Chain A
Amino acid sequence: MQLLSTRKNKLLLLLPTCLVYSVYIILPILLSAHYSFTKYSGISKPRFYGLKNYTRLLDDPYFWIALKNTAIILGISVVLLGIGAFFIALLFNQPMRGVNVCKALVFAPAIIASIIAGVIWGYVLDPVTGLVNNILRAVGLGKLALEWIGGKTLSPYSIAFVFFWQQAGYIAAIYLAGLKTIPHEMMEAAAVDGANFWQRLFRVTIPALKGTFVSVGILIITGSMKIFEIVQQLTGGGPTHYSETLVTYAYDTTFARGEYGYGMAMAMATFLISIVLMGIFTLLLRDRD
């Protein structure tokens, strides 16, 4: 439509979105950066504090625990979501009876609010009253009834699994959309040339889905870095911060402890780490032509 194709009209139509983006995304980031250099309780006026909030991060054991947990969740999400969801999509791309029902069932968790997902899995994973451990004890496998949540070690893995459960359908749907764009003739030609399943997968399918992998990768990185509701509901960040992620620890520091400046320093650290990770990821997958 030519009416929208002039540069001036395009800029005019983009203006509202840019305004919203600036006010609700860019401005809060700048404000957070400002507060991260202050000592601020949320009540009195902020007091300039230099880099002390940032140097405090280095000495804060709970910050490093939160960073480690976030890294665990990210790593597991890359494997389960990045790779696992891809294979789920490959499966759904096959003509089989009941595939549409399966697609709906796998996608269903994506429409559940994250906090509800946390409530549901809290009832499943609780070490005493949870479904998993009670079934294990009932079938005589009590030794496998571990502290899935509430302990010092397994909580981040459980959180990562719940995140995978919730997002698998959504990510698989993105992969499936990408798979549908691959011309059928390409696959047929490869098959005619004698390529087996794995050869077609690595030589035809995956290269054709490069753009999809980039999008999925960015979604996984941002989603893992900003996990909040699942952690809050499953463990509350506990026991005593051992299952915190960067976002939940920043939230607790800011709103529970009233240390806005330090909390914003954590938020800025999270933001910078996310930017660096996404930068590395897009550089690795960039077109080298």
Chain B
Amino acid sequence: MNMKKSIATILVLAMLFALTACAAKTEPTAGPKTDAAAASTVEAAEQSSADNTDTTAAGADQTTITLAMHVSNTKEQEPAVYKVIQTFQQENPDVKIKLIEHTTEEHNKQLKLWAQSNELPDIFWCQEGDVQEYGKNGYLLPLNDFLSQNSDIGAAIPSAIKNCYAGENGDIYGLAYTSLVTGFYYNKVIFSDNGLAEPTNETTYEDLLNMVKTLHAKGVTPIAQGAKTNYSVWGYLGSLNRYGYAENIAAISNGSGSSKVFSGLFDKLAELGANGAFPKNMATIDYFEAKNMFTSGKAAMFTSGQWDAAEIGNALGKNVGFWWGPVYTDSDYSQKTSNQFANCPFVVSANVAKDKAKQAAVYRFLAYYFGKTGSSILFDNSNIPIATYTDMKTENSNPAFAAISKVLASGYTSTTASNPVASLTASVSETFYDAMNSLMLGNVTTKQAVASIDAAFAEAAR
């Protein structure tokens, strides 16, 4: 009988051991790879400060800092940022940067889970609309101290961009990791082959509609667009400023200004959709498939930004152009607006301050990234830094980047520091994206779209 009890006890203990082993902390792995270009694997964020130093081959201590990106393959999707990271590590062998990579949707989800378990990465890309909430809840290390230690960087960043992510108490929660320049890339060959003039800063919406009708009649997709990535509406968001978004944001937030500001643009999105501006399978393709449609010469235009300049320039060469979008003749607001904004920020976890060695390493990386060297590398790799230095040595021959630079030199300015809508809370911005995609697909009317946005604002305010 004792033997039988012993065997039973051993079996129970074995099962408990197996249970413990299964429940042991596992490293977070990559989220679903909806990105066609995704290939890399993901490493876990190690937050224990006790284990963040290794000994390098030379014998000096190496500090590891974690950097979470919003793309699942930084090397391919953010090559400029990747280059800065690699060059920094080469020049600073005592600091190792462990990249954590997810698709944007998965990244945003993971950040919230990590915040709840107090395991945020040391540095992470943060969605604009979430920055204030993370900051107010004490998850972020204000960068005021970093900027005061690096006054040359502070001076090189325009004030509006520098304070874009400041809280009400003046704490600067993050710095835009690049400038965001959005608009429409276009394929010059498709335009010339179809007897159309290339779009310019003076091209009106009516001109655009005629281009769309001509291209559609000839079986060419006018504008590549993938609704499965609902936020890939950057060029149209920029157009909101041409309908007075910046001037009316307070009224929009309380529901009294939405119709006046949005109706004009929303009617046009619906009209473009009804006239075949977008692919027939827009609802079943995503941003990457839409980009592929454009880079393989199957679509005349594609809304995107500077982050795609390298890839698009390599694909289309000198045949690529870039423009802000059409002039809206029915709008009472300035049409000489550019779509240059502060991009989403890099922010620093508040936990970094608990470890002086780690904080020093993080500050060194940020100083490199936003300093002259990092800014030059970003520019050379077809991205646009937020800091500008008069003696910065740069070299970029990418044709798409040259097209963007040409448009930037036109002297237009943005009426908002950050991309319209993107800086709102996720529940509101997602409703915007859904509304715009629905209009383009012909699934809702302008009135329904505006009503859904007002409802989202009202719910967010409760």
Contact = CB atoms under 8 A, between A and B. Distances in A.
A258 B430 CA distance: 10
Nearest to B20: A16
B8 A12 contact: yes
Interface string A226-252: 000000101110111110000000000
Interface in B1-57: 4, 7-9, 11-12, 15-16, 18-19, 23, 32
Given A42-B112, A128-B279, A149-B284, A239 B15 contact: no
Contacts of B15: 13, 16
Interface string A118-158: 00001000111100000000000000000001111000000
A255 B109 contact: yes
Contacts of A9: 8
Given A16-B19, A238-B228, A152 B11 contact: no
A233 B16 CA distance: 38
B350 to A, nearest CB: 13
B430 to A, nearest CB: 5
A41 B7 CA distance: 50
B61 interface: no
Nearest to B456: A257
B235 to A, nearest CB: 19
A3 B108 CA distance: 52
B267 interface: no
Interface residues of B, number: 48
Interface residues of A, number: 43
Contacts of A151: 283
Contact of A127 (B19, B139, B280): B280
A269 to B, nearest CB: 18
A239 B443 contact: yes
Nearest to A39: B462
Nearest to B19: A16
Contact of A258 (B7, B137, B282, B425): B425
Contacts of A129: 281
A20 interface: yes
Interface string A241-284: 11000000000000111110000000000000000000000000
Contacts of B283: 149-151, 235, 238-239
A20 B84 CA distance: 45
A91 interface: no
B10 to A, nearest CB: 11
A285 interface: no
Contacts of A12: 8-9, 12
Interface string B268-295: 0000000000011111111000000000
Interface stretch (B91-99, B171-179, B433-441): B433-441
> Which of A43, A44, A129: most chain B Cβ within 10 A?
A43
B133 interface: yes
Contacts, number: 111
Interface string B103-116: 00100110010011
A19 B8 contact: no
Interface in A1-29: 2-4, 9, 12-13, 15-16, 19-20, 23
B427 interface: yes
B357 interface: no
B19 A19 contact: yes
Interface string B161-183: 00000000000000000000000
A96 B15 CA distance: 44
Contacts of A255: 105, 108-109, 112
B105 A256 contact: yes
Nearest to A237: B228
Contacts of B116: 42
Given A240-B437, A242-B443, A16 B12 contact: yes
A239 B133 contact: no
A3 B7 CA distance: 8
Contact of B227 (A23, A239, A256, A258): A239
B15 to A, nearest CB: 4
A231 to B, nearest CB: 12
Given A15-B12, A239-B227, A240-B227, A126 B19 contact: no
Given A238-B437, A257-B430, 7 more contacts: A56-B459, A115-B32, A128-B279, A235-B283, A240-B443, A242-B443, A258-B112
21 contacts: A3-B4, A3-B7, A9-B8, A19-B19, A20-B19, A41-B133, A41-B426, A45-B137, A126-B281, A129-B281, A149-B284, A150-B281, A151-B283, A152-B443, A235-B228, A236-B228, A238-B227, A239-B283, A255-B108, A256-B105, A258-B427
List the 8 shortest-distance A-B pairs measured between CB atoms, nearest first.
A150-B283, A42-B112, A239-B283, A3-B4, A128-B281, A258-B426, A150-B284, A236-B228
Interface of B: 4, 7-9, 11-12, 15-16, 18-19, 23, 32, 105, 108-109, 112, 115-116, 130, 133-134, 136-137, 139, 227-228, 230, 279-286, 425-427, 430-431, 434, 437-438, 441, 443-444, 459, 462
